[in-house]
Amino acid sequence: MKPLYTTILTLFTGLSAYPQNYSNHRLLQSKNQSQLYYVDIENNEAKVYPTIRSIDVKKGVLMTTDTLQQQADGSFTGRRFRIMHENNELFLVNLLGKIQKHRLDSVTEPKVAYNKLNRAYYLNHYSAMSERLNNAFPLNHINFREAYYTWETIPTELKEMEYRQFRTFTDNRLKEIEDSSSTVHDKYTRVTNHIIENIRQLDYTALKDSIAQLPVVYPNESKYYGNVINALVVSQPEYFLRLAEDQPENQSLMFFYATDNKQARASIDSVTGHEKIRKAFIKEQRSKKLFPYTSVGIAALGAGLLVYVILIL
């Protein structure tokens, strides 16, 4: 499957089909020392978009939206905020916690504002999509930080498009990505389950062909392949060795998964033949078991040398 950031770049095209007809609204902003607010007023309704700083990147990320309705006195009131007139100026009042009032000014650089609003919307909704996919397919993992990486792949003209148009466009595109990803991972799940459930009945060719349908990656990306390899080394150790011989390009990854399996050594020892690949596996398993002790020894030696150097200086 293509990485999601590649899919994002491919799908974010064809903007000419989306009309821009948002002339009947006023976009305002207010900024205090810690937070930036954007306010969009249209007819009898206003929307407040507070942004806060992200933990991962020091740029604004939209967190909530408050919808305000116009009152008889001309002000706008919502759950968290109120917009009021005072001395021919507009002010945004935070109604939760300590009452705070901020003057609202017209947005003089709409493209800058759209970029911030669009980025915040995109990051939140991409991360939410990632979480849904991870929950639906626990053997796969999409890092939420991909939201930041994929945002950088989007062309500037898209990042700076009118924010409501961008939201409609983004919702459609992310749905396409989520639907296509679900289809792919449904298949991976079915194949994985089929192999593990029938691993003792499948012949080598059928097994090899089925495994070829899975992504050959490390567990930080997905565990379909790893789960199958772990089942294979225990239930069909000869097939495991044959596969490692037939696919030397995947051998190190197969060993990576199987050497952590406590039952693997006994299963491998029960196989006759395949001496070269069997010895390579056992050597790798021993090296992996010794690695923690070797690391501690090197660290201790380094510390001892440092003390010695300090003492002789």
Residues 208 and 148 in one domain: no
Q: Are 191 and 207 part of one and the same domain?
A: no
Angle between helices 4-11 and 163-197 (to 10 degrees): 140
Give domain status of residue 231, yes or no.
yes
Q: Are residues 162 and 260 in the same domain?
A: no
How much is the average pLDDT of 63-70? 86
Query: CA 67, CA 78: separation in Å to the nearest integer?
Result: 6
Most confident region among 87-96, 211-220, 277-286 by mean pLDDT: 211-220
- Dig out the tokens for 53 from the structure: 């700083």
**Best CA proximity match to 3, nearest among 149, 209, 173:** 149
Residue 249 has a pLDDT of 96
161: buried, middle or exposed (CB in 10 Å: 19+, 13-18, 0-12)? buried
Length of the chain: 313
Q: CB–CB of 141/221 below 8 Å?
A: yes
Q: Are residues 123 and 234 in the same domain?
A: no
Largest CA distance in the chain: 92
Burial of residue 187, with CB atoms counted within 10 A of its CB: 0-12 exposed, 13-18 middle, 19 or more buried: middle
Asked whether the predicted pLDDT for residue 220 surpasses 50, the reply is: yes
Residue whose token pair is 């309705």: 69
Residue 310 inside a domain? The answer is: no
Choose one of 138, 173, 197: the last residue of a domain.
197
**97 and 113 in one domain?**
yes
Q: What is the pLDDT of residues 255-295, one digit of tens each?
A: 999 988 889 889 999 999 999 999 999 898 888 764 443 34
Band of residue 81 on the pLDDT scale cut at 50, 70, 90? very high
Token representation of residue 193: 């389950």
pLDDT at 294: 39
Highest mean pLDDT among 9-13, 20-24, 48-52: 48-52
**Residue with the larger pLDDT of the pair 198 and 305:** 198
| Residue 303: inside a domain | no
Domains identified in the chain, total number: 2
The answer as to whether 31 is a domain residue is yes
pLDDT, residue 287, reads 80
Structural domain span for residue 235? 202-297
Whether residue 132 is found in the same domain as residue 91:
yes
Average pLDDT, stretch 56-75? Answer: 75
Supply the pLDDT for residue 1.
47
Tally of CB atoms within 10 A around 142: 21
Structural domain contains residue 81? yes
Instruction: Name 100's Cβ contacts closer than 8 Å, sequence gap at least 6.
Output: 32, 93, 94
Mean pLDDT score, 61-87:
89
Strand ranges in 35-111 using DSSP code E only, listed in sequence order: 36-42, 45-53, 60-62, 66-70, 76-77, 81-86, 89-94, 100-103, 105-106
Give me the chain's average pLDDT, please: 84
The answer to whether position 141 is within a domain reads: yes
306 belongs to a structural domain: no
Alpha-carbon distance 25 to 111, whole Å? 15
Residue 268 lies in a domain: yes
Is 29 within 8 Å of 38 (Cβ atoms)?
Answer: yes
Whether 17 has a pLDDT exceeding 90, the answer reads no
26 membership: H or E segment, kind and range: strand 26-31
Same-domain check for residues 5 and 80: yes
Residues 147, 260, single domain; the answer is no
Query: Rounded to an integer, what distance in angstroms lies between the CA atom of residue 90 and that of residue 75?
Result: 9
Residues 169 and 247 in one domain: no
Give yes or no: residues 141 and 223 share one domain: no
Identify whether residues 27 and 70 lie together within a single domain.
yes
Does position 180 have pLDDT exceeding 50, yes or no? yes
Residues 82, 178 share a domain: yes
**Please, is 281 exposed, middle or buried when counting C-beta atoms within 10 Å of its C-beta (0-12, 13-18, 19+)?**
buried
pLDDT by residue (tens digit) across 99-114? 788 899 999 999 999 9
- When pLDDT is averaged across residues 22-51 and rounded to a whole number, the result is 83
